Amino acid sequence: MIAQILVASIALLHLYILALEMFWWTSPRALKAFGTTLEFAQASRAMAANQGLYNGFLAAGLIWGLIQPDFGFGWQIQLFFLACVAVAGLFGAATVGRRILFIQTVPAVAAMIALILV
């Protein structure tokens, strides 16, 4: 149960990131969340929308794993997409900012551990 709550929370986080990057990129909320200026946000709108789409794919995969009726297959799907989230977080932390490590990688690894212990 705890593992599923963690996975669902990470899926919701990535849906929120999708919304920030695809639809609200130039909003004050997104500017603050990503530490960007309005000028940068306007110039990088297409790039951000692309990143948002990828976050949506991560969320979709996690949700697919959660609703998969075959427990074993759903477990594998969740573990795969959590690994993708963790790797994306590591790359983001290395290339953009260390904060991403704590927003993406740490929760994904915690959920992976919870899944493995199920």
Q: What CA–CA distance (Å, rounded) separates 65 from 48?
A: 26
Smallest CA-to-CA distance from 35 within 109, 106, 98 is with 98
Structural domain total, the chain: 1
Q: What is the pTM (predicted TM-score) of this model?
A: 0.92
CB 20 within 8 A of CB 29: yes
- Domain enclosing residue 48, as ranges: 2-116
pLDDT tens-digit series, residues 9-44: 999 999 999 999 999 999 999 999 999 999 999 999
pLDDT tens-digit series, residues 86-114: 999 999 999 999 999 999 999 999 999 99
Rg (Cα) of the chain, in Å, rounded?
15
Q: What CA–CA distance (Å, rounded) separates 12 from 36?
A: 23
